[in-house]
Amino acid sequence: MNFGIRYLTEYRYSAPVTDNLNVLRVRPATTSTQRCDEFHVRVDPEARLQRHVDYFGTEVIEFGVAKPHERLSVLVRARVVTAEAPDPPDAGWERLDTDGYAQAAGEFLLPAGSEPETGALDDLVAAVRAETPLATVQRMTELIPDRFDYRQGATYVGSTVADLLAAGAGVCQDFVHLGLILLRRNGIAARYVSGYLWAAPEEGGDDSVEVETHAWLDALLPGGPRGEPVWRGADPTNRRLAGETHVKIGHGRMYADVPPIKGVFRGTASSELEARVTMTRVDRQASAGV
């Protein structure tokens, strides 16, 4: 599919602030199923942008505003082409016990730092395990929304999986953090993915829709076309594998590795944040490839 993306973040401060330093991770990634054809960033007040690629391969944009200001806006425009991924491999559990799998998995097999106390997730870890790693990933996408409600306001950006368990509800970030733990404890490497999800309007509806930043996960599945393990996206919020309607920005071990924006400023002011994302479907046909 071919998407135009407009991402606007605005901060309003109760008093002038200075030395406002920010880090952005907002450029759509280039992968085997996704291509970013255009990308532009405009900051107001105007600032010099510096770019680099982080440890996980995500483009990072940094900027600072030194002079006093009471408002900061970041406008991002991108053009992205996506395609469906090939069918995921369905090899057996024994394929996880290889040096090749361990090498590809790296730190994405390690326990997450925000895991709840020992024993709190044992039942879920057992319940999610299925006949194969792929079947386990698919079961995870069903089990989490079956056990927990999707409810905005039930958690906040700094919430942990323990908070999700206590509230019985959360948002996509919480569902992904839980999914990472369930898969890793079953020996399947998994990583957090940040991006956007096209929310298809009803038939005949507008081809531009307001969306929110979204999260899903990548699972490392053994048995690729040349015998190698391959990463495959899975979305526990929407009960399915990720596809061409998912636009990836980047990945990391947890949310803290790929927040869209974070920063600090000098001053005693309070701030209000407003973020809006508009996705526009440029054409209705799936791309033949990227």
Q: Looking at residue 219, which CATH number applies to its domain?
A: 3.10.620.30
Cα(281)–Cα(278) distance, rounded to whole angstroms?
Answer: 10
Q: Is the pLDDT at 204 greater than 70, yes or no?
A: no
Residues 106 and 192 in one domain: yes
Structure tokens at 112: 């997450």
Looking at residue 201, its pLDDT comes to 64
> 164 and 60 in one domain?
no
Rounded mean pLDDT of 175-189? 97
Assign 199 a pLDDT band (cuts: 50, 70, 90): confident
Could you read off the pLDDT of 14-63 as tens digits, one per residue? Answer: 999 999 999 999 999 999 999 999 999 999 999 999 999 999 999 999 99
In a domain, 59, yes or no: yes
The answer to whether 211 and 196 are in contact (CB under 8 A) is yes
Half-sphere exposure of 69 (CA within 13 A, CB side): 19
Q: Is the peptide bond before 45 cis (omega within 30 degrees of 0)?
A: yes
Strand partners for 36: 80
User: Do 165 and 100 lie in a common domain?
Assistant: yes
Residues 191, 164 within the same domain: yes
The answer to whether residue 53 sits within a structural domain is yes
- 59-65 and 50-53 as β-strands: parallel, antiparallel, unpaired? antiparallel
Q: Are residues 198 and 164 in the same domain?
A: yes
Q: What ranges in 66-160 are assigned the alpha helix state H?
A: 99-105, 122-128, 133-147
C-alpha span between 273 and 290 (Å, rounded): 35
| Cross-strand bridge partners of residue 50 | 62
Instruction: Identify whether residues 52 and 118 lie together within a single domain.
Output: no
Same domain, 101 and 234: yes
Supply angle C-alpha 173, 174, 176, rounded to 5: 65
Question: If you average pLDDT over residues 155-168, what whole number do you get?
Answer: 90
Q: 139 lies in a domain?
A: yes
pLDDT for position 44: 96
CA neighbor of 207 nearest in space, from 285, 134, 265, 102: 285
Alpha helices for the chain (secondary structure H): 99-105, 122-128, 133-147, 161-167, 172-185
Mean pLDDT of the chain: 93
Confidence tier at 212 by pLDDT (50, 70, 90): confident
pLDDT reported for residue 123: 95
Cα(235)–Cα(191) distance, integer angstroms: 12
9 and 111 fall within a common domain:
no
> For residue 286, is pLDDT > 80?
no
Instruction: Output 210-216 pairs: Cβ under 8 A, ≥24 positions apart.
Output: 210/276, 210/277, 210/278, 211/277, 211/278, 211/279, 212/275, 212/277, 213/260, 213/275, 213/277, 214/172, 214/246, 215/172, 215/173, 215/175, 215/176, 215/255, 216/172, 216/176, 216/242, 216/246
Examine the domain organization and report whether 53 and 192 are in the same domain: no
% of the chain at pLDDT higher than 70 = 95
Q: Return the CATH number at 7.
A: 2.60.40.2250
**How many domains does the chain divide into?**
2
Does 288 reside within a domain? no
Report pLDDT digits (tens) over 140-149.
Answer: 999 999 999 9
126 and 49 assigned to the same domain: no
The C-alpha angle with vertex 13 and arms to 11 and 18, in degrees rounded to 5, equals 95
CA atoms of 240 and 57, how far apart (whole Å): 25
Residues 106, 167: one domain? Answer: yes
pTM here is 0.93
User: Is 19 domain-assigned?
Assistant: yes
Domain co-membership, 238 together with 100: yes
Asked, for residue 23, whether it belongs to a domain, the answer is: yes
The mean-pLDDT minimum among 2-6, 160-164, 207-211 falls in 207-211
Range of the domain at 25: 2-82+260-281
Mean pLDDT of 237-256: 96
Residue 228 lies in a domain: yes
In a domain, 232, yes or no: yes
* 232 within 8 A of 137, measured Cβ to Cβ: yes
DSSP E strands, 25-146: 34-44, 50-53, 59-65, 69-82
